[in-house]
Chain A
Amino acid sequence: MGELRAYAALAGAQIRSVVSYRTSFLVEVLSNVGSTVFDVLTVLVLFRATDTLGGFTFAEALLMTGITAAGFAVADFTIGSIDRLKTHVRAGTLDAVLVRPLPALPQLLLMDLPLRKALRVVFGFVVLGVAISLNTIDWTPARLVLITVAPLSCAVFMSAIFVISASLAFWWVDSGELGSAFTYGGRDFASYPITVYGPVFRNLFAYTLGFAFVAYQPALALLGRPDPLGLPAWAGFASPLVALAAATVAATVWRVGLRHYRSTGS
């Protein structure tokens, strides 16, 4: 109980601090929704110039964008503020977190409560809903399970990427751009059919890092389309397993990184 009260105190302090500059906060909330709106807008604009992209129609591509948008928004809302870890490591303020008798990760998350990102989660699921209604999907029990599991797997996978990217700060203090290449770069990668990418780049992101299983493969399974790149039909249902594997790696990296942390010494 005492622990819960401590977390509640941290969260309450955060809420009071973010809403104290009211106008700025409102603009921030709107801007956050805007970033997903513009991701979807980009897909719309690209399809103005062409009927198919990488062999997929607009409705099919939007399904991939929708799964990614919904899953990423959830991940960013719950765990995305971990990317501030690099600031804490550089300034040495992580020490204050570590001396408290609570686990470090939840504390860090509550230290920057992303209220401003809440609306984006809603919008992400709206896009997914629109994408589902635009496609004619032959609903089977397996597909019904998949459509609920796929955005959650995407969220878990993206959360793992967030934690791994942030953990880079334990080894390289200034890791901002490298980390965001994988978080935001990964989101953008998964928003499009992976058939559009060149082979080397695709193999790295889609199969070595696993981003193909975030949205592309589940979308193929939902649509009942065979994979032009040759993976079997059940690959779409593997997305929870890939997410679980990513989460395990992330947990390990986080623990090793935290043990590796040696403050700033100042």
Chain B
Amino acid sequence: MVFGYLRCYVLLAVAASAPGGRPAGYDPQQLATYVWLGQGLLSVVLLWGWADLAERIRTGDVAADLLRPVAPLTAYLAADLGRAGHAMLTRFVVPVVVGVLCFPLRIPTRWQTVPLFLASVLLAVIVSFGCRYLVNTTAYWLHDARGPIMLWVLGAGVLGGLYFPLRMLPEWLAVTLWVATPMPSLLQTPLDVAAERDGLALQAGLVGVQACWAVGLLLLARLVQRRAERRLVVQGG
């Protein structure tokens, strides 16, 4: 919550002194929407550390997961979607209400924005899950995934668009990030959709990019998981 106020005030100050008052194409209302919905989505998308799987690999408990009739990837995805749904109902609402009370937020002007936003959030959760799962599987090789998880938390925060909207970067860099990495699909895309930063066609296109990353990451996670299972040596008694 404190971070919401911090980022909102700083970005509004940027808007106040930027020529034209629209830094990177956001007006003040859109910036406030961007910040506060971002605070809400943080715990839905779970940008922070998630070490359940890495911890089970380290302790060897993962052997029990492999014996179950459901593939670990599917089981963890199902659990994560449930967690995200719950967070959407509980953790998302509070920061958004605070934002509405303290700052002028943008009310969507197009009806398509709401369904597109919800689809975008769902895809963001899947992309985030895919990344987190892959980061955790490094523990199969490194035995301890604390370093990779920290690197992920850091990268996801900055390149996902939490600290500042990625549109503030030079355009070639922002476009490269969008196409070459899944990071902007984590937070930046749903927030741009909610703030109506772009026209409808571009918004739909960005959500399409998210969908490609979601599918690609799940396939990659399945491949890595199979590889890992083949070389897994469960430590301990």
In the complex, are the beta carbons of B154 and A31 less than 8 A apart?
Answer: yes
In the complex, are the beta carbons of B6 and A188 less than 8 A apart?
Answer: yes
Q: Which of B17-25, B121-129, B209-217 contacts A (4 or more CB under 8 A)?
A: B17-25
Neighbouring B residues of A34 by C-beta, 8 Å: 151, 154
In the complex, are the beta carbons of B163 and A50 less than 8 A apart?
Answer: no
Minimum distance in angstroms from A169 CB to a CB of chain B: 18
Neighbouring B residues of A49 by C-beta, 8 Å: 14, 18, 23-24, 168
Minimum distance in angstroms from B236 CB to a CB of chain A: 16
Docked complex: B123-160 residues within 8 A CB-CB of A: 142-148, 150-151, 153-154, 157-158
Neighbouring B residues of A195 by C-beta, 8 Å: 13
Q: Which of A26, A28, A51, A188 contacts B3 (CB 8 A)?
A: A188
Neighbouring A residues of B18 by C-beta, 8 Å: 49-50
In the complex, are the beta carbons of B169 and A50 less than 8 A apart?
Answer: no
Q: Which of A6-14, A39-47, A132-140 contacts B (4 or more CB under 8 A)?
A: A39-47
Task: Bin the interface of chain B by size.
Answer: 20 to 34
Q: How far is the CA of A26 from the CA of B19 in the complex (A)?
A: 43
Q: Which of A21, A26, A30, A48 contacts B168 (CB 8 A)?
A: A48
Check: B201 CB closer than 8 A to any chain A CB: no
Q: Which of A31, A182, A184, A188 contacts B151 (CB 8 A)?
A: A31
Q: How far is the CA of A195 from the CA of B2 in the complex (A)?
A: 17
Q: Which of A30, A31, A196 contacts B10 (CB 8 A)?
A: A196
Q: How far is the CA of A31 from the CA of B157 in the complex (A)?
A: 12
Check: B76 CB closer than 8 A to any chain A CB: no
Check: B1 CB closer than 8 A to any chain A CB: yes
Q: How far is the CA of A224 from the CA of B163 in the complex (A)?
A: 31
Q: With A188-B3, A196-B9 as given contacts, are A46 and B142 in contact (CB-CB < 8 Å)?
A: no
In the complex, are the beta carbons of B158 and A38 less than 8 A apart?
Answer: yes
Q: What's the dominant secondary structure at chain A's contact region?
A: helix
Neighbouring B residues of A45 by C-beta, 8 Å: 164, 168-169
CB contacts between A and B, total, < 8 Å: 96
Q: What's the dominant secondary structure at chain B's contact region?
A: helix
In the complex, are the beta carbons of B3 and A181 less than 8 A apart?
Answer: yes
Minimum distance in angstroms from A216 CB to a CB of chain B: 14
Q: How far is the CA of A93 from the CA of B216 in the complex (A)?
A: 43
Q: What sequence of 0s and 1s flags, for each residue 5-38 of chain A, a beta carbon within 8 Å of any chain B beta carbon?
A: 0000000000000000101111110111011001
Neighbouring B residues of A35 by C-beta, 8 Å: 154
Neighbouring B residues of A185 by C-beta, 8 Å: 2-3, 6
Size of chain A's interface in residues, with CB distance under 8 A?
36
Q: How far is the CA of A182 from the CA of B170 in the complex (A)?
A: 33
Q: How far is the CA of A188 from the CA of B9 in the complex (A)?
A: 12
Q: How far is the CA of A240 from the CA of B225 in the complex (A)?
A: 54
Check: A173 CB closer than 8 A to any chain B CB: no
Check: B5 CB closer than 8 A to any chain A CB: yes
Neighbouring A residues of B143 by C-beta, 8 Å: 21, 24
In the complex, are the beta carbons of A30 and B9 less than 8 A apart?
Answer: no
Q: How far is the CA of A24 from the CA of B136 in the complex (A)?
A: 12
Q: How far is the CA of A49 from the CA of B158 in the complex (A)?
A: 17
Docked complex: B104-136 residues within 8 A CB-CB of A: none
Minimum distance in angstroms from A215 CB to a CB of chain B: 14
Residues on A lying within 8 angstroms of B by beta carbon are 21, 23-28, 30-32, 34-35, 38, 41-42, 45-46, 48-54, 181-182, 184-185, 188-189, 192, 195-198, 201
* Closest 3 pairs between A and B when the two form their complex, measured CB to CB: A27-B147, A49-B23, A196-B13
24 contacts between A and B (CB under 8 A): A21-B147, A24-B145, A32-B150, A35-B154, A38-B154, A41-B158, A42-B163, A46-B164, A48-B169, A48-B170, A49-B18, A49-B168, A50-B14, A51-B17, A53-B17, A181-B3, A184-B3, A185-B2, A185-B3, A185-B6, A188-B6, A196-B10, A197-B5, A198-B9
